[in-house]
A = this chain, B = another copy of it.
Amino acid sequence: MQAIGKRRWTIAGGRIPLESNGTEPEFTSRDEIAVLNCCDSPARLRIHIHYADRPAVGPYEVEVAARRVRRIRFNDLIFPEALPLHEDFGAVINADIPVVVQFTRLDSGTASRSAVATAAYAERNLQGSGR
């Protein structure tokens, strides 16, 4: 299948919630991205995390297999260092081939869970098929 998506995605409003309620791991509070790779080759992602008051950290390296989807919880990114809970961050995701990225938050630290989803921002001039 042909390449679908773009090679750079960004998220400005990340924050891993502090508390969790509900069954683990399904309802662990988290920020996560879902990545769809429609290509015939694996996608190599390099993620840089930007903070409010200290230098950016990265790259976190993640692979998404050919023709597969993969959820990546920011909680699970631990090398070069784990992301702190409850601290604002932004993420820049660079892929070596076009992918589609969706950003979701699940906040289970309150009586009522609150979930938000939004498309990440796709950088237009790094589009896959235009090259």
Q: Are A4 and B8 in contact (CB under 8 A)?
A: yes
For A113, the chain B residues whose CB sits under 8 A away are: 110, 112, 114
Q: How many residues of A contact B (CB 8 A)?
A: 57
For A41, the chain B residues whose CB sits under 8 A away are: none
- For the complex, give the distance between the alpha carbons of A68 and B49 in Å: 9
Instruction: State the copy count for this chain.
Output: 4
SS of A interface (majority): strand
Q: Are B68 and A51 in contact (CB under 8 A)?
A: yes
* Residue A81 interfacial (CB < 8 Å): no
Chain A residues with a Cβ under 8 A of chain B:
1, 4-5, 8, 10-14, 22, 27, 33-36, 38, 48, 50-53, 55-56, 67-71, 88-90, 92, 100-102, 104-105, 107, 110-125, 127, 129-130
